[in-house]
Amino acid sequence: MLENKNVLKIISLIIAILLWVYVMGEVNPDTKEKISDIEVTFVNTETLADEGLAVVHEQDLRVSAIVKGKRSVINEMKKTGLTATVDVADASEGKNRGKVELELPSGVTLDSISDDTISYRVEKSIEVKKTVEIDFVGDAGNDKDLVPWAYDMYPDTVTVTGAESVVNEVDAVRGKITSNVVSESPKTVEVELMAVKKDGTEVQGVVLNHSKAKTTVRLMETRDVDVTITSKNMENGKEVDSISGVDSVKVVGTSEALADLDSVSATVDVSDIKSQGKKELNFSLPTGVYLYNKGNSTEVTVKIKTAQ
């Protein structure tokens, strides 16, 4: 008798499991699910751009939502992710508020959302040109006193476009290259570019007219050389009293290019200096030699006096 009861319990458990599998797999019940960290993006920004305007990008602009639908559809949706957008086509300069729209797959409906509208700001759009800079990361892995170097960059300048306050945060446009891919033989590599602040963090919400650049990389030698400075565009009746601040600079190049190099030439434009001012040097370097200006200032102080 007891044995029959145990058999019945086992059979009942098996039937319950089979029914649960059937309900979950075949009947596919409706369910509710909370989706968090949905990134909000702005659409129709090109309409603003045509009017010389741009959205001030807010970092980590995200919402959460509770959605309803078939379990299988929601599970698949969770794999592909959800998109939330705000249409800015009709926005104007200054503060705006826009409706958050969720792009839901067929069979899924919105139950609730953490923020159905968001506030954002629109500013005048500006553009600036920045010289592309390369950062080498990691150990070059060579036993010689060589440094990785990038040259023959294309493009060597990039236009950065966006809201005025955001573009003004951009210090440089940089790409990163792993040092251990560089050898003593020249190699062409492609690098992803991003706009960064002075502290190296990425500036969100700007557009680069080139997202990638190609450059030649190679391990090269460095050398400290003297600088011979001459002035140009001197006002009549005036002459240089003194130029101070830079006596030598570090340059980089192949061993052949640096073989007999002891000094380099530079000019300083003094056209707008009346008595004293600070100016950047303009270098004239031999072919295959580059200014290794990391941490080195090339600004000089020029003093002007009446010609004797």
Whether the predicted pLDDT of 179 surpasses 70: yes
Whether the predicted pLDDT of 70 surpasses 80: yes
Q: Are residues 131 and 213 in the same domain?
A: yes
Q: What is the mean pLDDT of residues 4-13?
A: 73
User: What is the residue range of 57's domain?
Assistant: 29-115
Whether the predicted pLDDT of 3 surpasses 70: no
Phi and psi angles of residue 21, each rounded to the nearest 5 degrees, phi first: -60, -40
In a domain, 22, yes or no: no
Model confidence over 14-44: pLDDT tens digits? 877 777 766 665 556 778 888 888 999 999 9
Q: Provide the number of structural domains found in the chain.
A: 3
pLDDT score recorded for residue 17: 78
Q: Are residues 134 and 211 in the same domain?
A: yes
Q: How far apart (Å, rounded) are the C-alpha atoms in residues 162 and 123?
A: 9
- Between strands 282-284 and 248-253, the pairing is unpaired
CATH number at residue 36: 2.170.120.30
Residue after which a domain boundary falls, among 87, 115, 143:
115
Q: How many residues are recorded in the chain?
A: 308
- Between strands 172-178 and 117-137, the pairing is parallel
CATH number at residue 184: 2.170.120.40
- Cα 231 to Cα 10, 243, 296, 307: the distances in Å are 99, 9, 21, 14
* 46 — pLDDT class (breaks 50, 70, 90): very high
In a domain, 135, yes or no: yes
